[in-house]
Amino acid sequence: MPAFDLPPRELEQYRPALEEPVDFDAFWRDTLQEASRHEPLVSVAPVETGLRLTRTWDVTFRGFAGDPVRAWFSRPADVDGPLPAVVEYVGYGRGRGLPHERLTWVNAGYAHLLMDNRGQGDQYGNGGATADPHAVAPGGPGPAVRGLLAPHDYHYRRLITDAVRAVAAVRSLPGVDGTRVAAVGNSQGGGLALAVAGLVPGLAAALVTAPLLCGIRRALDLTDAGPYGEIAAYLSVHRGRERAAYRTLSYVEGVSFARRAHAPAHFGTGLRDTVCPPSGTYAAFNRYGETAGGGGDGEGDGVRKELHAYPYNGHEGGEAEQVRRQLGWLAGVLGRERARSA
């Protein structure tokens, strides 16, 4: 697929206007306050994985409405804490899978929490273990359209709340330095990491690649691929419901979260990405941190951020090259200090 979005020079300056709900902040404040009434951790049980250099626990924490959410927590074996932590969010339709699948961050010396996606996990990968007991509002079969017609019913209200609570959970685990927690994700996971950056005080870093839910209205005009295609298909049947759908989507718009973020951020995008068009990534990057410090100057000059674009890549982005860059960048942000072995 050739490049189909704006030319690179226009992307670099792309700062679209936002149709942001006047109660955006109140909506998320109230949602997260209700979730925070519950202590984050439910259970932490060791898991035998056959890996000699990594220790893993099956974690259950309380997410939206106190619902149980599963996660894998791993850390290097025979290392005393406290360690900086990476909270990782996975892609659309994927669950947390098996505990030995994602070892990059552990091998780099971090504690690692991999959050399951509620009500997902059946499209690819090795499954999930978290139900979504609230998925009863009108909507299609895919998560992107569950409860689409009302902000309080929408699937991503629940999933974003889970993502925020995952940070509270990892901060509650032993051997974690709660002042050095990074949010990481690609695609849907990137959208969740970006939301966390805008909602969680004291986050140390955000690493966001090809984020879903950024520049949603433009993405719906550009592509029928992936989750955006599910939304378009739903609206093709439920004609006349687009106003309600767009209102709901405005509460999960990644650019709005980006504006409110304070943590240093590392972005990546493929310029031929038809699943999460690059203009959405650039819109979030260019407006990232613009309200940091309360100045509201529209520039975000006080926030450290960088973006890597891959002209010939699609939704896979820079793949291993992007991860290599993330590893070096995060080590610089969090510091290379690691707890020494006993």
93-102, 219-228, 267-276, 330-339: least confidently modelled range: 330-339
26-30, 131-135, 295-299, 305-309: least confidently modelled range: 295-299
- 24-35 and 155-172 helices cross at what angle (nearest 10)? 50
Ordered domains of the chain (ranges, CATH): 8-334 (3.40.50.1820)
Interval 185-207: pLDDT, tens:
999 999 999 999 999 999 999 99
Question: Do residues 131 and 140 lie in contact, with contact meaning Cβ atoms separated by under 8 Å?
Answer: no
The pLDDT of residue 31? 98
The pLDDT of residue 337? 42
Mean pLDDT along residues 297-315? 83
pLDDT band at 301 (very low <50, low <70, confident <90, very high): low
The pLDDT of residue 340? 32
pLDDT band at 294 (very low <50, low <70, confident <90, very high): very low
Q: What gap in Å lies between CA 131 and CA 62, rounded to an integer?
A: 12
Does residue 30 carry a catalytic annotation? no
Q: What gap in Å lies between CA 89 and CA 86, rounded to an integer?
A: 10
Q: What gap in Å lies between CA 167 and CA 164, rounded to an integer?
A: 6
Question: Do residues 266 and 306 lie in contact, with contact meaning Cβ atoms separated by under 8 Å?
Answer: yes
Mean pLDDT along residues 119-131? 88
Reduce the secondary structure of 178-212 to three states and give it as a string: EEEEEEEEECHHHHHHHHHHHHCCCCCEEEEECCC
pLDDT band at 292 (very low <50, low <70, confident <90, very high): confident
Q: What gap in Å lies between CA 34 and CA 28, rounded to an integer?
A: 10
The pLDDT of residue 342? 29
Mean pLDDT along residues 108-118? 97
Question: Do residues 70 and 114 lie in contact, with contact meaning Cβ atoms separated by under 8 Å?
Answer: no
The pLDDT of residue 136? 74
Does residue 308 carry a catalytic annotation? no
User: What residues does 239 pair with on adjacent strands?
Assistant: none
Question: Do residues 185 and 192 lie in contact, with contact meaning Cβ atoms separated by under 8 Å?
Answer: yes
Question: Do residues 85 and 181 lie in contact, with contact meaning Cβ atoms separated by under 8 Å?
Answer: yes
With a cut of 80, say whether residue 327 has pLDDT above it.
yes
Q: What gap in Å lies between CA 163 and CA 117, rounded to an integer?
A: 9
Q: What gap in Å lies between CA 295 and CA 62, rounded to an integer?
A: 35
The pLDDT of residue 295? 39
Phi and psi for 209 in degrees, rounded to 5? -125, 130
User: What residues does 205 pair with on adjacent strands?
Assistant: 182
Among 77-91, 125-139, 185-199, the range with the most confident prediction by mean pLDDT is 185-199
User: What residues does 69 pair with on adjacent strands?
Assistant: 61
Q: What gap in Å lies between CA 153 and CA 323, rounded to an integer?
A: 35
Catalytic residue among 112, 134, 155, 315: 315
The pLDDT of residue 293? 55
pTM of the entire predicted model: 0.94
Three-class SS state of 177: strand
What is the rounded radius of gyration, in angstroms, for the C-alpha atoms of the chain?
19
With a cut of 70, say whether residue 91 has pLDDT above it.
yes
pLDDT band at 137 (very low <50, low <70, confident <90, very high): low
With a cut of 50, say whether residue 338 has pLDDT above it.
no
Mean of all residue pLDDT scores within the chain: 92
Mean pLDDT along residues 274-283? 97
Q: Where are the alpha helices (DSSP H) in the chain?
A: 8-12, 24-35, 104-107, 155-172, 188-199, 216-222, 226-237, 242-250, 254-259, 278-287, 319-334
The pLDDT of residue 98? 95
Interval 224-270: pLDDT, tens:
998 999 999 999 999 999 999 999 999 999 999 999 999 999 999 99
The pLDDT of residue 139? 67
Catalytic residue among 132, 256, 273, 279: 273
The pLDDT of residue 3? 72
Question: Do residues 138 and 149 lie in contact, with contact meaning Cβ atoms separated by under 8 Å?
Answer: yes
Catalytic residue among 187, 250, 256, 279: 187
The pLDDT of residue 125? 83
- CB under 8 Å, gap of 24 or more: what pairs does 306-309 form? 306/265, 306/266, 306/267, 307/266, 307/267, 307/268, 307/269, 307/281, 307/282, 308/266, 308/267, 308/268, 308/269, 309/8, 309/11, 309/268, 309/269, 309/270, 309/271, 309/278
Does residue 78 carry a catalytic annotation? no
With a cut of 50, say whether residue 221 has pLDDT above it.
yes
